[in-house]
A and B are shown apart, each in its own frame.
Chain A
Amino acid sequence: MSKKTNEMSQILSQEKLASDVYSMWLRTEEIAKEASPGQFVSVYSRDGSRVLPRPISICEVSEDKRSLRLVYRVVGKGTEEFSMLKAGDRLSILGPLGNGFPLERAAGKRVFLMGGGIGIPPMVETAKALDGDKHIIAGYRDELFLQEELKRYGRVYTATEDGSAGTPGNVLDAMMANGLTKEEGREPEIIFACGPAPMLRAIKAYAQEMEIECWISMEERMACGVGACLACVCQSKEIDEHSKVHNKRVCKDGPVFLSTEVEL
């Protein structure tokens, strides 16, 4: 269990990676030190009209563990506010939050990291932390980002919805097109995935059919970020040990779940 801290971080850099995608390095006292791949932070707006923190996944942690990188998409006024901040500005964040990917499960296995859209960023730190045979499948709508970083830590296969780069289609299309199949003896032995719900649904179905262990990172509107308010629940297959109903807390019990334990 990583220790959570709410701290005033300092922005080291802000960079635009694609049309609506920004990258921000933040200096922290505690959070980067504690963070593990697949965890996220709650980022607080400085504008009092916005009362809910924005949950943003951790893309990378610096080697000295003093800074962390957030790569995020501008989807509304809150993230737009973050994108306007400059080096030297301060930003209140809470983290690290959630469980992260169970890296130990991937030991000795052919691991597939599958990221879609703004679900790609957490795959950078995940790939960095894993040893061995890593295949990274990145699915984009059109514009590419984080390709260089991903290539540093594994073999990268790309899909774009508009067909402008890599395989036209989604991450599963990219797998098939590159012969990453059972027939070729190159299928995944374990999957870590993060991305939009339709993508996760398709990966879950594929993993179930192929009987592959698959961990998916879920998304839901959040308020407290620490498991107290019960806003961001997802449906669980079995009665959850904590809630005693068919609900799991995405922010606390997740965001990473075994694909077979949650309904999508």
Chain B
Amino acid sequence: MINTKVSLAGVELKNPVMTASGTFGSGVEYSELIDLNRLGAVVTKGVASTPWTGNPTPRIAETYGGMINAIGLQNPGMKVFCERDLPFLEKFDTKVIVNVCGKTKEEYCRVVDRLSDENIDMLEINISCPNVKEGGIAFGQDPFAVEEITAAVKKYARQPVIMKLSPNVADITEMARAAECGGADVLSLINTLTGMKIDINKRTFAVANRTGGLSGPCVKPVAVRMVYQVANTVKLPIIGMGGIATAEDALEFILAGATAVSVGTANFFNPRATLDVIEGIESYMQKNKIQDIQELIGVVK
């Protein structure tokens, strides 16, 4: 019997595979296509204190081996999320991780405070969205701001706090250290890379927001490198993500130092990508006679 269980700040996941925030809604829609009970965790789309409209369309564009998105964190607000979406997720035997967004430090804290009372396993703080004017990445590109916002939300959180880091920085280890100093329990990386696509026929930007976040298989080598760097800098467990579509991709992240992994853009070209990754990790372990997934985490030094 192989063991795929992993623990993140005391929260035990049946396997290390979860969804990446923003690609999976609150799980309702994909539950028609896959069994959510099989996932290590569901990570929801970002939730703010009030409903957010998001950006104008077009919000996405395909690029070679990836895509650019600028959804702009459209969400129904924490009240509707708690009353409608959360009760749905609670029915499943999977861990629930809620992604939190805000325009100000106070808004992040308000959302965390409200969610603290709910049956939620972990909170992921989005300080790395490149597509909103206020909040988001503004907190994630300055180590002092990272430490400050981490410490601030920690005062309100009753669940372990995951800080989601941006790759759009000169040195991601500096941000990881700042989050660790601020009291983060777990780090997740990477969010999307700021990109741009030009529509040569319309001679304008392919997404209305001009820039968008690049994701998909094309970003994976950058993400693996950053996970490796951060894993060798801080002691916190890491959720690795960025272009994971197969078990082979996921295993690269785990070997580089990630305790868990998220599948994002791949859900769009393969609705059962998360399950394929789970099954593929199990077969890899069987084939290589690995009893416990712990034997793989961060072994490539």
**Please, which residues of chain A bring their CB within 8 A of the CB of B28?**
228
Question: Is the beta-carbon distance between A226 and B30 smaller than 8 angstroms?
Answer: yes
Q: Which residues of A contact B66 (CB under 8 A)?
A: 51
Q: How far is the CB of B111 from chain A (nearest CB, A)?
A: 15
Smallest Cβ distance from A77 to chain B, in angstroms? 9
Task: Indicate if A49 sits at the interface (CB-CB under 8 A).
Answer: yes
Q: Is the CB of A224 within 8 A of B29?
A: yes
Segment 192-218 of B: residues with Cβ below 8 Å from A: 216-217
Q: Separation in Å of the A243 CB from the closest CB of chain B?
A: 6
Q: Which residues of A contact B76 (CB under 8 A)?
A: 242-245
A14 to B13 CA separation, bound complex (whole angstroms): 47
A252 CB-CB contact with B under 8 Å? yes
**Please, how many angstroms separate the alpha-carbon atoms of A224 and B266 in the complex?**
10
Complex-state Cα separation, A51 to B270, whole angstroms:
9
Which chain B residues (40-67) contact chain A, with CB distance < 8 Å? Answer: 45, 51-54, 57-62, 64-67
Those of A212-226 within 8 Å (CB) of chain B: 220-226
Task: Please report the C-alpha to C-alpha distance between residue A48 and residue B266 in the assembled complex, in whole angstroms.
Answer: 10
Interface of B is mostly: loop
The one of A48, A49, A243 that contacts B74, using a Cβ cutoff of 8 Å: A243
A149 CA to B268 CA in the complex, in Å?
Answer: 33
User: Of B19-27, B117-125, B164-172, B287-295, which stretch is located at the interface?
Assistant: B19-27
Residues of A within 8 Å of B51, CB to CB, are 243-245
Minimum Cβ distance to chain A for residue B161 (Å): 25
Tell me whether A52 and B269 are in contact (CB under 8 A). Answer: yes
Q: Using Cβ atoms and an 8 Å threshold, which residues of chain B touch A86?
A: none
- Kindly state the separation between the CA atoms of A50 and B71 in the bound complex, as whole angstroms: 20
User: Which of B220-266 touch A at CB < 8 Å?
Assistant: 265-266
Whether a CB of chain A sits under 8 angstroms from the CB of B77 is yes
The residue from A220, A227, A229, A252 contacting B268, defined by CB atoms under 8 A apart = A229
Which stretch, A98-106, A133-141, A230-238, touches the partner chain B? Answer: A230-238
Instruction: Indicate the size class of the contact surface on chain A.
Output: 20 to 34
Residue in B52, B58, B69, B271 whose Cβ sees the most chain A Cβ within 10 Å: B271
Q: Across the interface, do A244 and B268 meet the contact criterion of CB distance under 8 Å? A: no
A230 touching B74 in the complex, CB below 8 Å, given contacts A51-B217, A220-B57, A243-B51: yes
Q: Is there an interface contact between A227 and B29, defined as CB atoms closer than 8 Å?
A: yes
* Contact among A224, A247, A252 with B267 in the assembled complex (CB-CB below 8 Å): A224
Contact B62 A51 (CB under 8 A): yes
Q: How far is the CA of A51 from the CA of B271 in the complex (A)?
A: 12
Q: Mark A186-219, 1 if CB is under 8 A from B, else 0.
A: 0000000000000000000000000000000000
Asked whether, in the complex, the Cβ of A233 is within 8 Å of the Cβ of B57, the reply is yes
In terms of DSSP, what is the predominant structure of the interface of chain A? Answer: loop
B272 in the interface, Cβ–Cβ < 8 Å? yes
Is the beta-carbon distance between A51 and B268 smaller than 8 angstroms? yes
Cα distance A243–B81 in the bound complex, in angstroms: 10
Asked whether A51 lies within 8 Å of B22 as measured between CB atoms, the reply is no
Most chain B CB within a 10 A radius of its CB, from A50, A52, A229: A229
Say if the beta carbon of A260 comes within 8 Å of chain B: no
With the chains together, A230 CA to B57 CA distance in Å?
A: 10
Q: For residue B56, which residue of chain A has the nearest CB? A: A235
- Knowing A6-B33, A48-B65, A51-B67 are in contact, say whether A247-B74 is a contact too (CB < 8 A): yes
Which of chain B's residues have a CB closer than 8 A to the CB of A94? 33, 271
In the complex, chain A residues 21-63 whose Cβ is within 8 Å of any chain B Cβ? 44-45, 48-53
B112: shortest Cβ distance to chain A, in Å? 20
Q: Please tell me if B80 contacts chain A, counting CB pairs below 8 Å.
A: yes
Contact B57 A224 (CB under 8 A): no
B216's nearest neighbour on chain A, judged by CB, is A51
Which residues on A sit within 8 Å (CB–CB) of B25? 227-230
If A6-B33, A52-B268 touch, whether A231 touches B71 (CB-CB below 8 Å) is yes
Contact A229 B57 (CB under 8 A): no
Q: List 13 A-B contacts (CB under 8 A).
A: A4-B32, A51-B217, A52-B60, A52-B268, A94-B271, A224-B30, A228-B24, A228-B25, A230-B54, A230-B59, A231-B59, A233-B59, A245-B51
Q: Which 8 A-B pairs have the closest CB atoms?
A: A228-B25, A244-B76, A244-B51, A228-B29, A226-B29, A231-B60, A245-B53, A227-B29
Knowing that A228-B23, A230-B25, A244-B80 touch, tell me 4 more A-B residue pairs with CB under 8 angstroms. A51-B266, A220-B58, A228-B25, A247-B54
